[in-house]
Amino acid sequence: MSGGVDSSTVAAMLRAEGHTVIGLTMQLWNQRRMAGREGMPESVQGRCCSLDDVYDARRVAQQIGIPYYVVNHEERFERDVVRPFVEEYLSGRTPIPCSLCNNHLKFDQLLIVAQQIGADCVATGHYARVAYDEARGRWLLKRPADLSKDQTYFLFGLTQEQLSRTIFPLGDMTKPEVRELARQHGLALAEKPDSQEICFVPGGDYKRFIDAYLAEQGEALPDTAGDLVTTSGEVIGEHSGIHNFTVGQRKGLGVATGSPLYVIQISGANKQVVVGDAENLYSRTLRARRVNLISIDDLHEPMRVAVKIRHRHEPAAALIERTASDEILVTFDEPQRAITPGQAAVFYDSNIVVGGGWIA
């Protein structure tokens, strides 16, 4: 229970259906840690894991009459989500902390807690569906009824074991329906705004977060400054550090040219930021590594799927084929804009998640 509308409504729904429900909030990050550091806001109200959100979750649990506990997983969160987040940026990639959190915290640590306290499964407020497919003998992850809220992109790492013990009660509902249900259950937070940004990055400014985090850790920000080069290798300027850039970015390059320039590629090895025209951003292939497959046990032969390369991306038709024991080559029918290392490529067979991997 994050203290938001979705998980609160899930708790109220399940309770009303007569399940034995135990409310848990994962305390993952101390929002006060960075508050007031240089470049960070003084106050961190109304964010995940803030005192306000824990308060909201606890009040919902009290209102619907379920036991409620806060479990602290700050150490694991820092090790498995925050650290990799910082390191990915410093290596020139654009990370997705939410997927890491799902893989390492919500569907790993939380499932362990569930087992420890004798719960059969974990229910969350994610917009996704889980179903067991008799014919395949596998648990399937499917896109939800409300595609505008689809969170399957962040859930591609779930294993069969994890899926078998997970329920997503909001999978068949739209967000307005969820809010309406929250109102019907008399939940005071029915109108609470959705959280949008990365929970531990106040104001969404990840660069300032990286600075503040490293300063707190007593570590120097590595010097990742280097050359700004064109696709043909011509040096046209310098940049302040590769972690300040993301593929597809147009603003803030610090060079003035006639036509708009975009970041095409970031090279961690030689600290180069490659820039080019809009058309240079398009490519037809990507390699996905650290792959997890859900609807199939292995990819024995090439398969036609639709592939999503970032959270807000319409899945695009592609062929996937295994090229190494832990690598899948994705070849799109049409070139895709800004394929970004560090993001996930998630494969869909209509509304079924086939699997996914991390873009190399």
CA distances from 351 to 81, 88, 126, 306, 346 (A): 28, 30, 16, 10, 12
Rule CB under 8 A: is residue 75 a binding residue for other proteins? yes
Among 48, 49, 98, 199, the active-site one is 199
- Our answer to whether residue 199 is catalytic in this structure is yes
Among 48, 49, 98, 101, the active-site one is 101
**Residues 6 or more apart in contact with residue 190 via CB below 8 angstroms:** 5, 179, 182, 183
- Our answer to whether residue 101 is catalytic in this structure is yes
Rule CB under 8 A: is residue 117 a binding residue for other proteins? yes
Residue 65: exposure state from Cβ atoms within 10 A (0-12, 13-18, ≥19): exposed
Three-class secondary structure assignment of 122-190: EECCCCCEEEEECCCCEEEEECCCCHHHCCHHHHCCCCHHHHHCEECCCCCCCHHHHHHHHHHCCCHHH
Least distance CB 14 / other proteins (angstroms)? 16
Rule CB under 8 A: is residue 132 a binding residue for other proteins? no
Binding range to other proteins, per CB under 8 A, among 87-95, 115-123, 223-231, 261-269: 115-123
Identify which of residues 74 and 321 has a Cβ nearer to other proteins in the complex.
74
DSSP string for 2-60: -SSHHHHHHHHHHHHTT----EEEEE---TTTTTTSTTS-S--TT-TTSHHHHHHHHHH
**Of 16, 62, 69, 302, which one interacts with other proteins (CB under 8 A)?**
69
Q: Say which residue the tokens 């696709």 belong to.
A: 231
**Of 70, 190, 303, 319, which one interacts with other proteins (CB under 8 A)?**
70
Least distance CB 54 / other proteins (angstroms)? 8
Rule CB under 8 A: is residue 301 a binding residue for other proteins? no
Instruction: Note whether 163 and 185 are within 8 A (CB).
Output: no
Binding range to other proteins, per CB under 8 A, among 69-77, 126-134, 177-185, 344-352: 69-77
Count CB-CB contacts under 10 A for residue 160.
14
Binding positions for other proteins, 18-37, rule CB under 8 A: 22, 27, 30
Distance CA 312, CA 307 (A): 12
Rule CB under 8 A: is residue 256 a binding residue for other proteins? no
Identify which of residues 20 and 331 has a Cβ nearer to other proteins in the complex.
20
Identify which of residues 71 and 221 has a Cβ nearer to other proteins in the complex.
71
Identify which of residues 20 and 323 has a Cβ nearer to other proteins in the complex.
20
Identify which of residues 33 and 37 has a Cβ nearer to other proteins in the complex.
33
Which residues are near other proteins by CB under 8 A? 22, 27, 30, 54, 67, 69-72, 74-75, 112-113, 115-118
